Amino acid sequence: MDRSSSRLPLLALALVPTLAALAPAAQDAPAKGAADAPAKDAPAAQPAAAQDAAKGKVIEGPVNVYTWAPDDSAKAVEAKDIDLHKVFKDLGPVATRWYQHAITLSNPWFEGRAPGVRGNDLAAEYLEFWMKDMGLEPAFPAVGADGVTPKDGDWTSYMQEFALTGGAPKVETGTMRLAGKELERGKDFAVLGVSGNGEVDAPVTFVGYGIEKGERGYSSFEEGTDLKGRYAMVFRYEPLDDRGRSMWADRRFSEFSAMTGKIDALVDRGAAGIILVAPPGVRDGKTALEDVSTSRWGRPLDIPMLQVSAEVAERILQAGSPDKATATLMDWRRLADEGKVKCVALGDGAKVATATKLSTGGTPTQNVGGVVRGKGALKDEWIVVGAHYDHVGYGYFGSAPQYTGQLHPGADDNASGTSAMLCVAQAIADLYGGKDAPKDARSVLFLGFTAEESGLRGSKWYVEHPTIAGDKMSLMVNMDMVGRLRSDDLSVGGMSSAKDMIDVMRPVFERSGLTIRADPSGRGPSDHASFYGAGIPVVFIYTGNHDVYHTPKDTGDTLNPEGAAKIVAMATDMVTTIATRPEKLEFKADGGRTADRGYAAVRLGVMPGMSDDRPAGAPAGGVLVDGVSPETSAADAGITKGDVLLAWNGEELDGAGGMMKRLREQKPGDVVKVKLWRDGKELEVEVTLRAAKPKE
């Protein structure tokens, strides 16, 4: 659809290539070695942009990060009237640099930056390049010294490498024969990541698109279809028109194309195995063979699932239907497009034999870090500034089923925070290296975390394998989803994670000119929670939720570079304030409160796990318990870490959000029955709900 207007400063992606022309104007940071000349865009302790702004407003109180979304005050302008060069010249070099970083990191070339895909490694290399370019020192010991706190001289790497357990499986055995002839894995077929293990020798039934119920009564199945003892060969996606585009969606595909729905329909009908094939001529979909890391559509199956090339699929169809021996795969596709063919049992000439065995191995990934060394009496104390650079890749985890298999660019989540972290690093490096450098200042560690979307696992790994002792850390600043500032309204959490934190930060907030929602909680679904759990004061900067969160539509054209520049200025002011403050911040726990804090009259007392790294045999749904606070409802009922909460008074729990919804419906003293999984067994416990503590 052609849109004749655009939002300013939410710039249309169609205009982004023009940014290349701005590169000379944007590169006005000083060359390395120009320590005596401050950068043109390096903020002082009180950023110039903030000095000219109206006095900021501070609103203290809890913020529900799952639902909070400020009003959008952006104005629509005619796209033809935009002078993009002037826009960025007016916005300034920080906004320009930030936007270039965010657009780059959210480019599809990075494959959604999920651990295990090449794009995650490329994003890590991107961060390393810029940290080196800015003159930051390496933050980690050489590979192989994990778990050892090194001396400063041993820090030679920008990468902290480790392996995620429970990652993509590895194919130990993968063979396929058609009519007794061996096929070549990687060329003719691929074993998919969702596949079960075992040997199956069975005939094939062609099931079209495998859609149970689609648009206008479309179905691939007759009533009573039985696939027992047979392979089901299924087209990917959904009915296509003559141009190879979906008949049911204006752009790409509808929810009916989701692989999870097809798989469920085939398993429910007793299929002995599944053979996937891309429909020929599809315009907006992938036709190449998948691999195990990009084909984890839900929980592993008990039956084999493989993908075959178009050539092999055509051979299967022709071998199994002698009366249609000349029919092409395109002929079969067109019949399925029009709903003229449903399930067709092919003859024994198309018999397929497979052997599959997959094992779960670790997924290699890495945190990325660089250091700006402090000065004087405070140089041995530290501030950490972090942001996660990973996202959810192709949506095989962390996304709604209808988006499974589609690339998720992750522009706001969290190319935005990663880009802001790089901009703050530039400002601090310039400040510390310039003629106005403070005499006494804490060192600053800038960290790009991996695997945040998999359960804060990158930040947890760093906290468990630190290069800096915890008692030397004054503050951790986390920037996650900072790319969509609306109405100058910003959430900053962690205001009760240190003694007098709000009083220390108030002048910074007032200088920012922004409306600051000063949330007391040091917890939350992002990387600062790992540091808070280790007893380190934290700050969490966040511009709010939106309707494209964890969808393929979280793209660069939705970002606000003007707002990001304000956030970079505020964060730089915050870091500089704490870096030069003689007194170290004193950590203060919030009484052990957990994720359900402040949002309900009652409190359960569990910390939901954010990871798919569950105990062996644990079910995929429900709420994984990552921790239980003492003297809470959960502790009273005997709920423990590692349990999976499955149902609440007989109703299935669909994640932490569903649990919160039910908590908000209860009152103190209510007794609820919670079904849970533990050590391979399902149990039911009665939980007497305690009142939530008053908000601080």
CA distance 639 to 660: 17
Mean pLDDT for 366-373 is 97
Nearest to 254 by CA among 221, 222, 211, 288: 211
Residue 415, phi then psi, degrees to nearest 5 = -60, -30
pLDDT tens profile 224-281:
999 999 999 999 999 999 999 999 988 888 888 888 889 999 999 999 999 999 999 9
CA distance 300 to 95: 44
Domains and their CATH numbers in the chain? 50-70+81-142+154-165+363-580 (3.40.630.10), 169-359 (3.50.30.30), 602-691 (2.30.42.10)
More confident residue, 384 or 652: 384
Residues forming beta bridges with residue 476, ordered by sequence position: 384, 538
DSSP letter for each residue of 443-474: EEEEEEES-STTTSHHHHHHHHS-SS-GGGEE
pLDDT tens profile 481-531:
999 999 999 999 999 999 999 999 999 999 999 999 999 999 888 999 999
Give the model's pLDDT for residue 367.
97
The answer to whether the peptide bond before residue 649 is cis (omega within 30 degrees of 0) is no
Measured on CA atoms in the order 629, 633, 636, 638, is the torsion positive or negative? negative
pLDDT tens profile 327-357:
899 999 999 999 998 999 999 888 999 999 9
Position 222 pLDDT exceeds 80: yes
Give the model's pLDDT for residue 182.
95
Give the model's pLDDT for residue 107.
97
Position 51 confidence tier, pLDDT thresholds 50, 70, 90: very low
Give the model's pLDDT for residue 221.
95
Position 144 confidence tier, pLDDT thresholds 50, 70, 90: very low
Candidate ranges 119-133, 162-176, 614-628; pick with highest mean pLDDT:
119-133
Measured on CA atoms in the order 31, 34, 37, 43, is the torsion positive or negative? positive
Give the model's pLDDT for residue 594.
39
Contact 303, 271 (CB under 8 A): yes
- By residue count, the chain amounts to 696
Position 166 confidence tier, pLDDT thresholds 50, 70, 90: low
Give the model's pLDDT for residue 651.
83
Phi-psi region of 246 (alpha: psi -120 to 50; beta: other; left: phi over 0): beta
Give the model's pLDDT for residue 680.
78
Q: Give the chain's mean pLDDT.
A: 85
Position 30 confidence tier, pLDDT thresholds 50, 70, 90: very low
Give the model's pLDDT for residue 67.
86
Give the model's pLDDT for residue 131.
98
Mean pLDDT for 658-665 is 80
Q: What whole-number percentage of the chain has pLDDT above 90?
A: 59
Position 32 pLDDT exceeds 50: no
Give the model's pLDDT for residue 14.
29
Mean pLDDT for 147-163 is 72
Position 664 confidence tier, pLDDT thresholds 50, 70, 90: confident
Give the model's pLDDT for residue 116.
85
Position 398 pLDDT exceeds 70: yes
Least confident of 82-96, 294-308, 460-474: 294-308
Nearest to 535 by CA among 592, 453, 581, 578: 592
Give the model's pLDDT for residue 118.
93
Position 641 confidence tier, pLDDT thresholds 50, 70, 90: confident
More confident residue, 41 or 427: 427
- The CB density around residue 356, as the number of other CB atoms within 10 Å, is 23
Position 548 pLDDT exceeds 80: yes
Least confident of 150-154, 231-235, 258-262, 647-651: 150-154
Nearest to 171 by CA among 196, 205, 203: 196
Contact 268, 302 (CB under 8 A): no
More confident residue, 277 or 50: 277
Give the model's pLDDT for residue 9.
36
Write the DSSP symbol of residue 603.
E
- The CB density around residue 131, as the number of other CB atoms within 10 Å, is 25
Position 438 confidence tier, pLDDT thresholds 50, 70, 90: very high
CA distance 195 to 401: 18
Position 390 pLDDT exceeds 80: yes
Mean pLDDT for 92-113 is 97
